[in-house]
Amino acid sequence: MKAFHFRLQTKLDICQRQEQVVREEMQRRILKRNQIVQELELLENRFQSVEDSIRELNGRQGQFPRIVINRQYIPVLKQEIKAAEDNLVLAEQKVEEARLVLMERMRETSTLEKLKDKAWRRYLHEFLLEEQKHIDEVAGAAHHRKSL
């Protein structure tokens, strides 16, 4: 009997490679999103520290110039925080898009793997039937020789 050959093996290999590429792209997008989250946290921490600094300096004598500088910095920080939040929303959308593409690739790969598994089981069944047929022939020939 000839060796097992899955006729869609090339397609399966391509699908598995595409799935791996999409998985890597998703990981890159997740890393980018996580970097934006960290940047946003740093900006929010900086904003909080500027507000705390203003409160602390408010009661002190001669600290008016520093208070003014800190107050002028607050709108800049708010703008940076808003930009980071917008970037985070875009990054989340990109991660979601990559997740959907990955799910589609995984579904396609899974389908082909199931087809391969069914073809293997069918091949194995045919192989066992053919093996049983040969065993029966050998047993029949041995029985025929004994009876002569």
Tokens of 49: 């520290």
pLDDT at 85: 96
pLDDT at 59: 73
pLDDT at 53: 87
pLDDT at 11: 96
Is residue 88 within 8 A of residue 40, CB to CB? The reply is yes
pLDDT at 71: 86
pLDDT at 67: 81
pLDDT at 111: 97
pLDDT at 121: 97
DSSP letters for 3-60 = PP--TTHHHHHHHHHHHHHHHHHHHHHHHHHHHHHHHHHHHHHHHHHHHHHHHHHHTS
What's the rounded Cα separation, in Å, for the pair 22 and 140? Answer: 57
What's the rounded Cα separation, in Å, for the pair 20 and 17? Answer: 5
Per-residue pLDDT of the chain (148 residues; tens, 9 = 90+): 789 999 999 999 999 999 999 999 999 999 999 999 999 999 999 999 998 888 888 777 777 788 888 888 899 999 999 999 999 999 999 999 999 999 999 999 999 999 999 999 999 999 999 999 999 999 988 888 888 7
